[in-house]
Structures are given as structure tokens and as C-alpha cells.
Structure 1
């Protein structure tokens, strides 16, 4: 009986009214009413506990761009981090710019070639890319470097110029991840929003963003 109750206020009120109507027809109305209310309260508490459990293991992904400092050489990275309380089970992972899209679940050599083309930076730089071939999991409090760039020389007259150019390049990338939480509920993360949305809401959100982009004013 508990499983049949969805926890909504209207449903519980309707069942409570039915219990009271039945109690009026029964001489033992007080014990019956108390028992009915106890079942309703238990069902409601179970629904609240389930929602709390889902929130307590919900992953939260976001993108970080930062420097890698060492005594030997400098570097810059673009990473995805999970600041949530539960794992993010990766189902799809794409990085794009304009019409170019790179699937990070592909073969590592293929990802390397496509990412270099997508970034369109100096070929002499040293690149390192992370792939999610076959899927993957980003655990809570884990940061995964998606792109690491090293081997660039700084302009002595403007040491920050090269770093700024690379940082701007990385910031222009669109990163889209579809993932599940521990309860197998699907979410979509987009670097354009920098917060997750439930997959069933994703289509509406994307249409809304396209509508906003099409406006003649911002």
C-alpha cells in the first residue's frame, strides 16, 4: 500500500477523507482512523526520505580552467570537476566549437587528432587529452583534466599574452555531458549553463537558449 502512494498532498488528502468517511460508518472509527493516518504518515515520510537520499548522492559537474605551475615549465588545463556528493556515470561526452564536434568516448588517437584540429593552436605545443572510451565515472570531489597544454614559450615583452590566448581558446569550447546519478536518473551538463539539468528537461532548455540567441538584442 505504501508503494502505491506517490507522496503528493492531494493524494494524501483524498485518502484521508476516504478514511474519515469510512470511519463514520464504523463503530470502531477511532482505531481505524488512527491506523489509516499512521499508514499515510509512514508513506509520506518514506517519500521524503527517498528524495533526501537522491539529493545526498547527486553529482554536480563544473568546468575549471587554470595554470599548472612547475619548476620546469608552465602549463594550462581545462578540467571537469565533480563537487557533488555522488558519482557521475558518463553516458556521452562531447566538446565542440561551431560545427566541429569531438566525441571523447572515441579512440584516443582519433580524439587527439580531432582535438588538435578543434583547438587550432600552435602545433609545437604539447597536448594531453583525456578520453572516456566505453564510458567512465567521475567520483565525488574528483577533478579530471580534459585538456592539458604545455611547451609554449612566453613573450618576454608580454608574458601573459600567450597564456591569455590559450585560455580564451579553451573558454570558447562548448562542453556537453550526459550522465546518470546513483539512482540512474539522467542529467545533461552544458558549459554554457555550468549547472546540470534533468535530461527530460534538456530539450526545452536547449530550445529556450536557441530562442535567446536569435533575439536581435541581448
Structure 2
């Protein structure tokens, strides 16, 4: 068997150098334009991602607020915490101060009511404490306490006393981990 020899012959013309140069330049220009378009698309995508993340965070932002309700006819005072935001509030800290001192026990709301109205009978008030780690869903209202004031004081006087002596701080966060603070003095 005889060896097979293959030959490749390149034939180039001296007159076609300008054509090769033009092809190389147009190829370089096309590569540059492609790179510019890719960089622009990457930048646009990055801005769009940032805007989308900002929108997502705003779409689940909680906002705790308080409401006082006085029923003059029934002599009732109600203090309510509500989530007026658009996402759940995850409770991280619940601190209740009376005359500047932190109430440190298992039921700070009950202790605060008993300090607000000394000698109050248990049948004349209801209360609820917010647990650490609990969620307050959007549009949820939690009545911290309701006091029947007929035997103790005028509801308006109790409300004034409440605002002057009690201070509630709730630290909470959104599902994205953004931290917020509800402060009854603000």
C-alpha cells in the first residue's frame, strides 16, 4: 500500500489585500457593536432587577399603628395596634414602659392596665399581649386592652394618663428582613 499524500494549496492574489483588510475591519466593527449592545443589555437588566427588588420590598412593607377608641356612652377605652401596611409584620421585640420603667414579666399589658387603673377588677378589662416571633397580618387589628371605665374614671382622663405615663415600643420586620420600629411616643 502506497502512502497517500494530500495537498492543500492556497492561492492569494496581491490585488485582494484591500478586500481582506476591509473584511477584517468590518469584522472588528461588528464585534465592537456586539460588545456594546451586550454591555447595554447587561446594564439595563441590572437596573430592571434593582427596580423589581425595590418594588417587591415595598409590596410587602408592614406599618404598625395604634388607635384609641373611646365609647362615651358605654364608658369604654380601647387601645388597638393595627397593621396598615401591605405585608405582614414579624414581631422581634415588644417593650412596654410605665413611668419610664420597663415592665419585665410574662404579661406586661396586664401589669400596665393595673398600673393605669389601680384597684381595677379583672371583670372590667380585657387584654392581649403580642408574642415575640408572631406575625401581624395586613389589616389585622389587635386590641391590646379594653377597659370599662365607669367605676374608675372618665375615658378621656384615662387616655390622657395613658399617653403621659405609658410608652410602647415594638420592633418588627418585613418578610425581606427590613427592620422597623413602632413607638407610641411618635
Q: TM-score, normalised by structure 2?
A: 0.73
Structure 1 unaligned regions, length at least 5: 1-25, 155-160, 194-218
2:140 to 128, 139, 142: 142
Partner of 2:84: 83
Report the secondary structure of 1:86's partner residue.
coil
- List structure 1 segments (4+ residues) > 3 angstroms apart after TM superposition: none
Report the secondary structure of 2:168's partner residue.
strand
Report the secondary structure of 1:67's partner residue.
strand
Give aligned pairs, total: 156
Residues 1:122 and 1:162: Cα distance change in structure 2 (over 3 Å): farther
TM-superposed deviation, 1:44: 0.7
In angstroms, what is the RMSD of aligned CA positions?
A: 2.4
Report the secondary structure of 1:192's partner residue.
coil
Partner of 1:169: 161
Structure 1 contact 124–151 (Cα < 8 Å) conserved: no
State the alpha-carbon separation in 2 of the partners of residues 187 and 97 from structure 1.
22
Structure 2 contact 77–149 (Cα < 8 Å) conserved: no
Structure 1 contact 78–170 (Cα < 8 Å) conserved: no
Q: For the pair shown, which has the larger CA radius of gyration, 1 or 2?
A: 2
2:116 to 116, 119, 122: 119
Higher relative contact order (CA 8 A, sep 6+): 2
1:132 counterpart = 2:130? yes
1:31 counterpart = 2:34? yes
Q: TM-score, normalised by structure 1?
A: 0.63
Structure 2 unaligned regions, length at least 5: 1-27
